[in-house]
Amino acid sequence: MIEIKDLHKSYKMGSNSLHVLKGINFNVQEGELVSIMGSSGSGKSTLLNILGMLDEADSGSYTLDGLPIKNLNEKIAARYRNKFLGFIFQSFNLISYKSALDNVALPLYYQGVKSKERLDVAMSYLEKVGLADWAGHLPNELSGGQKQRVAIARALASNPKVLLADEPTGALDTKTSYEVMDLIQGINDEGRTILIVTHEHDIAEMTRRIVNLKDGVIIDDSKVNQVRALSNV
Amino acid sequence: MFDLERWQEIFETISKNKMRTFLTGLSVASGIFILVILLGIGQGMQNGISSEFENDAANILFIFTGATSKEYKGLNPGRRITMKNDDYNTTVAKNEDQLEYKSSVYRIWGGLINYEKESGSYRVEGVYPDFQFLENASMTHGRFINPNDNNSFEKVVVLGNKVKNDLFKNGKDPIGEYVQIKDINFKVIGVYTDPGGEREESRVFIPISTSQKAFNAGNDINFMSFTLQKEENFEAALASSEKFSEELETFLKERHTVAPDDERAIRINNSLENAKRFYDLMDMIRFFFWGVGICTIIAGIVGVSNIMLIIVKERTKEIGIRKALGAQPLSIIGMILHESIFVTTIAGFVGLIFSLALLEFVGPLIETEYIANPSVNFNVALITVFILVLAGAIAGFFPAWRAARIKPIIALRDE
- Say yes or no for a CB contact (<8 Å) between A81 and B320: no
Q: Which of A81, A109, A111 sits opposite B9 (nearest CB)?
A: A109
| pLDDT for A233 | 63
pLDDT digits (tens, 9 = 90+) for A60-116: 999 998 888 888 888 888 889 999 999 998 889 999 889 999 999 999 999 888 889
Instruction: Report the C-alpha gap between B207 and B209 in whole angstroms.
Output: 5
Instruction: List residues of chain A with CB under 8 Å from any CB of chain B.
Output: 49, 52, 54-55, 74-75, 78-79, 81-83, 87, 89-91, 93-98, 102, 106-107, 109-112, 114-115, 154, 158
| pLDDT for B56 | 57
| pLDDT for B55 | 59
Instruction: List residues of chain B with CB under 8 Å from any CB of chain A.
Output: 5, 8-9, 12-13, 16-17, 317-318, 320-331, 405, 407-409, 412, 414
Q: Which residue of A has its CA nearest to B413?
A: A91
Q: Which of B326, B405, B414 sits opposite A110 (nearest CB)?
A: B326
- Candidates B15, B325, B339, B412: best to mutate against A (most CBs of A within 10 A) is B325
> Which of A123, A114, A185 has its CA nearest to residue A154?
A123
Q: Which residue of A has its CA nearest to B14?
A: A97
- Say yes or no for a CB contact (<8 Å) between A75 and B330: yes
Closest approach of A105 to chain B, Cα-based (Å)? 10
Do β-strands B60-65 and A217-223 pair in parallel, antiparallel, or remain unpaired? Answer: unpaired
Residue A169 carries which side chain, given as an amino acid letter?
A: T
Q: Which of A75, A98, A115 sits opposite B329 (nearest CB)?
A: A75
| pLDDT for B53 | 67
Closest approach of B391 to chain A, Cα-based (Å)? 27
Instruction: Report the C-alpha gap between B346 and B352 in whole angstroms.
Output: 10
Instruction: Tell me the three-class secondary structure of A25-56, residue by residue.
Output: EEEECCCCEEEEECCCCCCHHHHHHHHCCCCC
Chain B contacts of A52, Cβ < 8 Å? Answer: 324
Chain B contacts of A94, Cβ < 8 Å? Answer: 321
**What are the sequence ranges of the domains in chain B?**
4-53+279-412, 59-98+229-270, 101-222
Instruction: Tell me the three-class secondary structure of chain A, residue by residue.
Output: CEEEEEEEEEEEECCEEEEEEEEEEEEECCCCEEEEECCCCCCHHHHHHHHCCCCCCCEEEEEECCEECCCCCHHHHHHHHHHHEEEECCCCCCCCCCCHHHHHHHHHHHCCCCHHHHHHHHHHHHHHCCCHHHCCCCHHHCCHHHHHHHHHHHHHHCCCCEEEEECCCCCCCHHHHHHHHHHHHHHHHCCCEEEEECCCHHHHHCCCEEEEEECCEEEEEEECCCCCHHHHC
Measured from the Cβ of residue A131, the count of other Cβ atoms closer than 10 Å reads 22
> Which of B206, B200, B193 has its CA nearest to residue B140?
B193
Q: How confident is the model at residue A49 (pLDDT cuts 50, 70, 90)?
A: confident
Residue B46 carries which side chain, given as an amino acid letter?
A: Q
Instruction: Report the C-alpha gap between B207 and B326 in whole angstroms.
Output: 91
Closest approach of B314 to chain A, Cα-based (Å)? 12
DSSP B185: E
User: What DSSP letter does each residue of B262-312 carry, written as one string?
Assistant: -SSSEEEEE-HHHHHHHHHHHHHHHHHHHHHHHHHHHHHHHHHHHHHHHHH
Closest approach of A82 to chain B, Cα-based (Å)? 4
- Say yes or no for a CB contact (<8 Å) between B409 and A54: yes
Chain A contacts of B317, Cβ < 8 Å? Answer: 93
Q: How confident is the model at residue A1 (pLDDT cuts 50, 70, 90)?
A: confident
pTM above 0.80, yes or no: no
| pLDDT for B263 | 83
Q: How confident is the model at residue A28 (pLDDT cuts 50, 70, 90)?
A: very high
Chain B contacts of A100, Cβ < 8 Å? Answer: none
Respond yes or no on whether ipTM tops 0.95: no
Q: What does each C-alpha distance from B18 to A105, A130, B23, B46 come to in angstroms?
A: 22, 31, 9, 41
Closest approach of A162 to chain B, Cα-based (Å)? 13
- Say yes or no for a CB contact (<8 Å) between A97 and B13: yes
Closest approach of B6 to chain A, Cα-based (Å)? 9
Averaged pLDDT for residues A177-194: 92
- Candidates A72, A97, A108, A156: best to mutate against B (most CBs of B within 10 A) is A97
- Say yes or no for a CB contact (<8 Å) between A79 and B412: no
What's phi and psi for A93, nearest 5 deg?
50, 50
If one compares A163 and B264, the residue with the highest pLDDT of the two is A163
Domains and CATH numbers, chain A: 2-232 (3.40.50.300)
* CB-based contact B203:B164 (threshold 8 Å): no
> How confident is the prediction along chain B (415 residues), in pLDDT tens digits per residue?
457 778 888 888 888 888 888 888 888 888 888 888 888 888 888 888 777 666 555 678 888 888 888 888 888 888 888 899 999 999 899 888 888 889 999 998 878 899 888 888 999 999 999 998 888 888 988 999 999 999 999 999 999 999 999 888 888 889 999 999 988 999 999 999 887 778 888 899 999 999 999 888 889 999 899 988 877 777 787 788 888 888 888 888 888 888 888 888 888 887 776 677 777 888 888 888 888 888 887 887 787 788 878 888 888 888 888 988 888 888 888 888 888 888 888 988 999 999 888 888 887 777 777 777 777 878 888 888 888 888 878 877 887 888 788 777 777 765 4
The CA-based angle B275-B277-B280, given to 5 degrees, is: 105
| pLDDT for B4 | 77
- Say yes or no for a CB contact (<8 Å) between A82 and B13: no
Mean pLDDT taken over chain A: 90
Q: CA B294, B299, B305, B311 torsion: positive or negative?
A: negative
Q: Which residue of A has its CA nearest to B16?
A: A97
Residue B397, helix vs strand vs coil: helix
- Say yes or no for a CB contact (<8 Å) between B8 and A115: yes
What's phi and psi for A11, nearest 5 deg?
-110, 140
Q: Which residue of A has its CA nearest to B405?
A: A74
| pLDDT for B379 | 84
Chain A contacts of B330, Cβ < 8 Å? Answer: 75
Q: How confident is the model at residue A211 (pLDDT cuts 50, 70, 90)?
A: very high
- Say yes or no for a CB contact (<8 Å) between A110 and B325: yes
